[in-house]
Structure 1
């Protein structure tokens, strides 16, 4: 189905990747050399929150923030300036090959505060975003996994933050990612189906989405979620792309789905309203500001603009 669309919008947060140098996670000599390297930088986190300083100041490495913009930014410091905490090897910067770590601090330093990634993720460059998403996902995993699910014993950090092992029964716990499907549904008239939640501001609509259940294929999850949320049956399902989404630990997997039926019956729980849009209706309402579409950082925006055939005005 995707092949019928001549324009494919890029998916934010997906194209760039750093070298995770996984083979070095247990190489203590290499880790010590990297930590001692003056080019190495360390990202500071409090669990799944990024630590930031006030705008207009500098981070520990002497790099100035954009004081005029007044926006928070991730704090990268040198290893010698990093507070005590759990050390996580992120890898090598894609542009400079310099090593990057994160530290989950034992105590938030004075003059700093925790910020959720959503606050400024849209302002990050692609290379930095890849590192930050890696760090935040692991930070949230460490925060939520302190005890063994089998025996309740304490979990000890291993492999530079990418493994936790129970000190009592030896069970290994690896970071988990929750797969979620997100989809644009189209009908025989090539209209696009979008839905909204009751808690959203008036006029905000987005693609349908939901988590994959145990023992379920991705395609079946697409069909099930669409039918559960809006009562529409879908047939053909085609893959679009994917996006890391550590809020707190998801991988968003995008699809196009072709509707077999078009009558809408919302579930009233997750979805309060759903509509079919033509391209003309979507453009006119977006230009008028009566339709608020997903932001550019989300794969949802990429799906909608690929169906539409180009950029659309307005976003969350």
Structure 2
């Protein structure tokens, strides 16, 4: 299958891409190389820290709860089982002052609110539970913290010899003390695609029960040795039996639950019939812009939330904001 150059792409493949969201945290990849840097920050009295345990963070009414790193570390690490990781310094749009050093403490247990270090007016919550009310910096920190804590939870031993590894570089490297090999956090690339037919309609699909209302873009993981474009063609063909003739990259979103990086594309097809595979995709449907908006407002279907790149891709095709059904 061949790919046309951008000028020859179908009309809906525009030169515009999704807006680039500015970084709100300086991760300090050079600064964290200094040995003992995390210990220095804990002892400095200036750093703040968030706490994650079992993929949930301590969250208050205003967003992520940040404690003074020194006393908080003593409480979280009372049993010696906690991990301290450097997340970076804030750049703005946060409840924290600009240029505040932020640490992540990964705890083994989740004390109930009002006990140990968890304030009575806070609670444990996952990202999806609170994302809609987080400020931009808290969102960035929660996603970063989720990604690195998920990696630590699943990569405790050397993959070459099985020896327990030591944490270095502010929590961003694990080193094997036996063979001295270094191991870095992993990210799993996945393509996510709006498929547009010859008449300009968009193809959306969903999994689970065939009569479910939720519809979204199509997606799948990139396989070893495969280009992103090849993954788009393969996944769309496998999931809905549609042949992609051209595709264009639009933007990306980190989704570390546990470790995905969603790479957004829009794709063209000359096919007008979709055949769901019945496994990953149990229903697929074509929508014009008018049909999609009407179906959402009537409650006939639901589409992805505004937190996701899926919604951004759909609205990129739509050419504006899709109004949601109000409660």
Residue in 2 aligned with 1:229? 239
TM-score (norm. length: structure 2): 0.84
Residue in 2 aligned with 1:91? 88
Residue in 2 aligned with 1:43? 50
Residue in 2 aligned with 1:299? 309
Alignment CA distance shift 1:142-1:200 (3 Å): farther
> How far apart, CA to CA, are the structure 1 residues paired with 2:209 and 2:153?
28
- Secondary structure of 1:16 counterpart: coil
Alignment CA distance shift 1:150-1:199 (3 Å): farther
> How far apart, CA to CA, are the structure 1 residues paired with 2:160 and 2:124?
32
Per chain length, whose mean CA-contact separation is higher, i.e. which structure has more relative contact order (CA < 8 Å, sep 6+)?
A: 1
1:34 positional shift: 3.2
Aligned length: 297
- Secondary structure of 2:26 counterpart: coil
Structure 1 residue 245 corresponds to structure 2 residue 251: no
1:26 positional shift: 2.9
> How far apart, CA to CA, are the structure 1 residues paired with 2:263 and 2:200?
21
Unaligned runs of 5+ in 1: 56-64, 67-72
1:311 positional shift: 0.8
* 2:13–2:267 Cα contact (<8 Å) kept: no
Residue in 1 aligned with 2:4? none
> How far apart, CA to CA, are the structure 1 residues paired with 2:130 and 2:277?
33
Deviations 1:196-250 (A, max 9, x none): 1124873210000000000000001011000000000001110110001111111
> How far apart, CA to CA, are the structure 2 residues paired with 1:167 and 1:26?
18
Alignment CA distance shift 1:30-1:169 (3 Å): closer
> How far apart, CA to CA, are the structure 1 residues paired with 2:27 and 2:16?
32
Unaligned runs of 5+ in 2: 1-8, 93-97
TM-score (norm. length: structure 1): 0.86
* 2:242–2:271 Cα contact (<8 Å) kept: yes
1:79 positional shift: 1.0
> How far apart, CA to CA, are the structure 1 residues paired with 2:69 and 2:210?
42
**Bigger mean CA deviation after superposition, 140-149 or 173-182:** 140-149
> How far apart, CA to CA, are the structure 2 residues paired with 1:93 and 1:37?
17
Equivalent in 284, 293, 302 of residue 283 of structure 1: 293
Residue in 1 aligned with 2:180? 170
- Secondary structure of 1:50 counterpart: strand
Residue in 2 aligned with 1:211? 221
Alignment CA distance shift 1:275-1:146 (3 Å): same
